[in-house]
Amino acid sequence: MPSLLIQLSYILLLFFMLSYSVSASADDSRAESLFQEGETLYQQRYSAVAITPLEEAAKLGHAGAAHRVGEILRRRYTYITEEAEAYYLQAAEGGEVYAMLRLAQKGNFCGTLRNCDYDRDVWVERAAENGHAFAQYCMAVMLDEQGRGFYWTQAGRRADILKWLEASAEQGFPKAMHKLASEYAQDGRMEEAVVWADRMGKTDYFPAIYEYGLVLVDGPDGVEGLIQYPETKPVEGLAMLFALYRETRRSSVQRSIDRRLPGLPPEILAVAKAKSEDLLVDKPILHYLPRFGT
């Protein structure tokens, strides 16, 4: 008899486990369906209608839906209300990176009724650890320029700064490439700085393209502590600067060109101008200002 009871217990347990699994799978499927419905409406700019299926999906545990609801509520009230914060927290706990970054944001849009009472750094770090390139760059900046976190030594802090920059740069985030090249140069690691200078020069990031042009023109005679290219490449550098000015009309670029023109042979200028016609064509030049969500 005891053996029979044990067998029945196992059967009942297995039945409940299977039932729970089927139920959970059905909830996940419905949550995803509701999210897709709400997301479509959201992308069509029907936020007032989209919020209903998104709220239902969030109740079923969908992190992406929770983030969207938080965004709709934040835009409706122009700051994070208690209700919006709850949705952001749900989304962040579910691994939604942009919700983590929203909770980490400073300024007028930060915190319950504009009063942040949680650790922003924690959310940035979690987003960075999840492999988000912008968050990894933010971690490096917070450690370097804002002095966040406690370290026994500056060497330990420096190692983490470079770790996060390298992680972000390897994913192709231009601001991280630019900063990493500069940090390597400051540390005297000029070979590595040059490698990243070459890579950042191929991006669409204005400061990176600008500095790369200067680096090529100035070569090894560049400013100490900044990136010093192993050889002078005036044609390539000026061509980059000419193209950048053509695309942006920034006076700072023109001034940099003017300072480097005296003493250069006319044939160098002619070749550089001709070469510039093929550079940065149909390539929007960006500044990569912080953006959350889509």
CB distance 162 to 183 below 8 Å: yes
Confidence of residue 113 (pLDDT cuts 50, 70, 90): very low
Superfamily for domain range 1-130: Tetratricopeptide repeat domain (1.25.40.10)
**Nearest-angstrom CA–CA distance, 73 and 189:** 48
Give backbone dihedrals phi and psi of 263, rounded to 5 degrees, phi first: 90, -10
pLDDT tens-digit map of 128-187: 998 989 889 989 998 998 788 889 999 999 999 999 999 999 999 999 999 999 999 999
Does the pLDDT of residue 270 top 90, yes or no? yes
DSSP label at 281?
T
Please state, in angstroms and rounded to a whole number, the distance separating the CA atoms of residues 40 and 79. Answer: 24
- Mean pLDDT, the chain, whole residue set: 86
User: Which residues fall within 8 angstroms of residue 63, CB to CB, at 6 or more apart?
Assistant: 90, 91, 93, 94, 95, 96, 99
pLDDT digits (tens, 9 = 90+) for 202-258: 999 999 999 999 999 999 988 878 899 999 999 999 999 999 999 999 999 999 999
**Is pTM beyond 0.85 here?**
no
For residue 28, name the pLDDT band (cuts at 50, 70, 90). Answer: confident
| Maximum Cα–Cα distance across the chain | 104
Are 66 and 58 contacting, i.e. CB atoms less than 8 angstroms apart? yes
Residue spans per domain, the chain: 1-130, 172-294
